[in-house]
Amino acid sequence: MYKKGDYIVYGSNGPCLVADVTRLSMPGFDKKRKYYILRPVRSAKSTIYCPVDNEKVITRPILSQAQAEELLTEIPDIDHIHIESEKFREEQYKDIIRKSNVRDFVGIIKTLWRKQQQRIAQGRKFTSVDERYLREMEEILINEMAISLNQDRSVVERLVREKLRMPAMEKQG
């Protein structure tokens, strides 16, 4: 069981701070169950109430500092991920996010970035689905590594992009 102050990865929400572990006395919640009260890093104003015994959503501790440092050194050697079927690629992206394996995130980021460069070279636009998942996986990966490495997000983004041999992320909006 995680404790207050821990950082965990909660499904597609990415890294979250465990703000509390408690029983809830709110309508719709089982007063006998314990819940994690989670604050997603990428949406600090949001709150997630997750039963401690939830088995539907993959929950795991964030990478340790040593694991994050190891991942940084391994990034250049992580292979692209083959998309089995263009028709089902979004389902494959969702499955990778759901499983929350950071090495798969790196593989998909590499795959999508390469695809984006190919489409641009052909004078074509990058699809909105691919763009959305590329940004989402980058966001989850970089936020988790920033916490693990105890570094500013922009520093980690630069380190990851150097290892991926990718240009800096364009700022949204």
Which residues are bridge partners to 40 per DSSP? 16
**What is the per-residue pLDDT for 173?**
40
32 Cα distance to chain centroid: 31
Question: Which amino acid, 8?
Answer: I
**What is the per-residue pLDDT for 169?**
53
**What is the per-residue pLDDT for 166?**
67
Please state, rounded to an integer, the average pLDDT across all residues of the chain.
Answer: 90
Burial 6-33 (b: 16+ CB within 10 A, else e): ebbbbbebbbbbbeeeeebeeeeeeeee
**What is the per-residue pLDDT for 168?**
57
pLDDT in tens, 83-137: 877 788 889 899 899 889 999 999 999 999 989 989 999 999 999 999 999 999 9
Query: What is residue 37's DSSP assignment?
Result: E
How much helix, strand and coil, in percent to the nearest 5, is found in the chain?
Answer: 50, 15, 35
| Residue for token pair 């636009």 | 125
Judged by DSSP in three states, 173 sits in coil
**What is the per-residue pLDDT for 172?**
43
Q: First CA to last CA across the chain, in angstroms?
A: 39
